[in-house]
A and B are shown apart, each in its own frame.
Chain A
Amino acid sequence: MLSVRDLSKKWADFSLTNINLDVKKQEYFTVLGPTGAGKTLMLELIAGFYRPDQGEIWINDKNVTDLPPEKRKVGFVYQDYSLFPHLNVEENVEFGLRLKKIPKSETTEKIQHTINLLGLTHLSKRLPKTLSGGEQQKVALARAIVLDPDMLLLDEPLSALDVPTQERLRRELKDLHEISGITTVHVTHDHVEAILLGDRIGILSDGKLIQVGEPDEIFRKPKWEFVAKFVGVENIFSGKSELKKGLATIDIGNVLIEAVTQKKGKVKVCIRPEDILLSKRPIKSSGRNMLQGKITEISDRGTIVKLKVNVGRDLVVIITKRSFLDMKLRIGSKIYASFKASSVHVI
């Protein structure tokens, strides 16, 4: 689908070197890298906003290296939304279709469908500056996908949003991808986002793509410190979900947990270390997961302590130094780990 070959480009104070990348049809590919790694520039090269010094870009078995952006059929969404401020939501979404000079009567249905798909119908006459960040980003998405592009390029699409909106929109991105099957490259500095959304992940550092692989592979065998830093920072598991009485039971391998979700089948699960409670005795409460395990690792971080608890899978838990001392925990201690079903994030 997308094939980037030996791509290099030098700017005044930055360069991308020898990027090689293959993204499959309908794949959701995330590129993970710290700020200043060249993520945006890489996407802008693929979109055709700059011409590379070297190398080729192929989209759908067509060499597009010398094509201007308007001929590439690639949708682009920036972190700061980049909506046209002088046009309302509907006019923003129809921008691309109007350029094609298709009569309005033929495009109206398509525009309404897309606006509806993203839940923007009630906002269609509003100007961008009157919308919240999450709403603006959805307009930017609608504006790109209404043209049925061959590919969607997302430049940190969630980074400017607050955390609850991020989580909601993350889920909507995944749903949108499942519905439309559109090949997507999504760059981010947020490893959770990269793991939860990406079928595969590429690691970009200092203008070089240094590792490409499936999330598990990347985080199990990190080739690089930037990735290694994240390993074990969050509890992220792949699993299988079954729905029962409004709750989902998810098998994450040797362990069953309950979560609040309507998702069935293959899912990814994320539990924040600070959402997990440790206790010497089991706490009985409905809507709560209660797992028994053993402490396998302790690292003292000053006012907080990070523990690894084996409950069948390794869970990372963060507790305060005070409660750590109160409970007199040491390696090998038997312990109960509990967390609310609603703290289990499922995608």
Chain B
Amino acid sequence: MLGILIVAFLALPIFNIFFKQFAFDTTGFLNTITDQEVLKAVGLSCFSAFLAVVVTFLFGVPLAYLLARRNFRGKALIEGIIDLPMAIPHVVAGIMLLTVFGLSGLIGGPVSSFIKFEGALPGIVVAMLFVSAPFLINSAREGFQSVDPRLEKVARSLGATEWEAFRRVAFPLAFPHIFSGAIMSWARAISEFAAVIMLVGFFPMVAPGIIWSRFYSQGLCEGIRVAVILLLITLSVFVGLKYLHRRLYAER
């Protein structure tokens, strides 16, 4: 019973916004969905989020494996640092990123002649990476922890090097966790607003940015139209991937 209440609480705003949109404003929606500016912003969000997940995957999965398998000094500190982005206000994340990757920042300054973060794609990816990486890393670590280390030892005795034992045993067994972590990470990256706006500014425009600017300059109705588009895309990717995930691992 209490479960139904919480589901209702979560579902009501979603249904409401779709209902409002399609019952009263179908033409407005069709106009917006063919609007080049909107499509570009949504596409940029999806693409940058994808890049952020790829970067997290390349660096985060080995780190997650290390955290799951080894004990070393400073491990608790590293785990704390990984969790931190989930706990701080995104405005704070934006400020911190600005002081590092901004035009006069620690890294952003020296490299500004050949790579710019402010007002450019790398900035969007960096901001998304910062707030979304913890989801993939933590999920991958849980995945590796659920794999019995003895399986890798046996693989070694069967002639596998450390890398082969990882690639053929630990990684495939942890993959369901890694995959769902990647979905969460991607979703989190797409939804990031504050950190992106603070580091990059409004241009190039990401989806949450265009929702905010339409809402601010043209009112609630216009804001809703873009929001619904973003919701539709996110929801279908979410549901699609979860379905695929279940199909792939149901029988294993």
Contacts and interface: CB of A to CB of B under 8 A. Distances in A.
A48 B205 CA distance: 56
Nearest to A149: B157
A122 interface: no
A164 interface: no
A100 B159 contact: yes
Interface in A37-78: 44, 47-49, 68-70, 72, 74-76, 78
B174 to A, nearest CB: 10
Contacts of B172: 86
A95 B164 CA distance: 11
A87 B151 CA distance: 12
A95 B156 contact: no
Contacts of A68: 156, 161-162
Main secondary structure of the interface of B (DSSP, over half): helix
13 contacts: A47-B157, A76-B154, A78-B150, A80-B148, A82-B148, A82-B150, A82-B154, A85-B173, A95-B155, A99-B164, A127-B252, A140-B154, A143-B154
A197 interface: no
A275 B214 CA distance: 88
Given A82-B151, A85-B173, A69 B157 contact: yes
A256 B148 CA distance: 50
Nearest to B164: A99
B245 interface: no
A96 B160 CA distance: 7
A82 B153 CA distance: 9
A160 to B, nearest CB: 13
A309 interface: no
A147 interface: yes
Interface of B: 148, 150-151, 153-162, 164, 168-169, 172-173, 252
Contact of A99 (B148, B160, B162, B173): B160
Interface in A95-120: 95-96, 99-100
Contacts of B153: 44, 47, 49, 69, 76, 82
B181 to A, nearest CB: 18
Nearest to B148: A82
Contacts of A99: 158-160, 164, 168
A147 to B, nearest CB: 7
Contacts of A47: 153, 157
Contacts of B151: 82, 84
A80 to B, nearest CB: 7
Contacts of A140: 154
A48 B158 CA distance: 12
Given A69-B156, A70-B161, A86-B173, 11 more contacts: A47-B157, A69-B153, A70-B158, A72-B157, A76-B153, A80-B148, A82-B148, A84-B151, A99-B158, A100-B159, A144-B158
Contacts of A82: 148, 150-151, 153-154
Ranked 7 nearest A-B pairs via Cβ: A96-B158, A69-B156, A76-B157, A82-B150, A99-B159, A70-B159, A49-B153
Given A84-B169, A86-B172, A70 B150 contact: no
Contact of A70 (B156, B169, B252): B156
Nearest to A77: B154
B248 to A, nearest CB: 11
A147 B158 contact: yes
Contacts of B158: 70, 75, 95-96, 99, 143-144, 147
Interface centre among B148, B150, B161 (most CB of A within 10 A): B150
Interface in A119-169: 127, 140, 143-144, 147, 153
A49 B156 contact: yes
A147 B159 contact: yes
A72 B168 CA distance: 20
A82 B169 CA distance: 11
A49 B172 CA distance: 22
A1 B208 CA distance: 69
A78 B153 CA distance: 10
Nearest to B156: A69
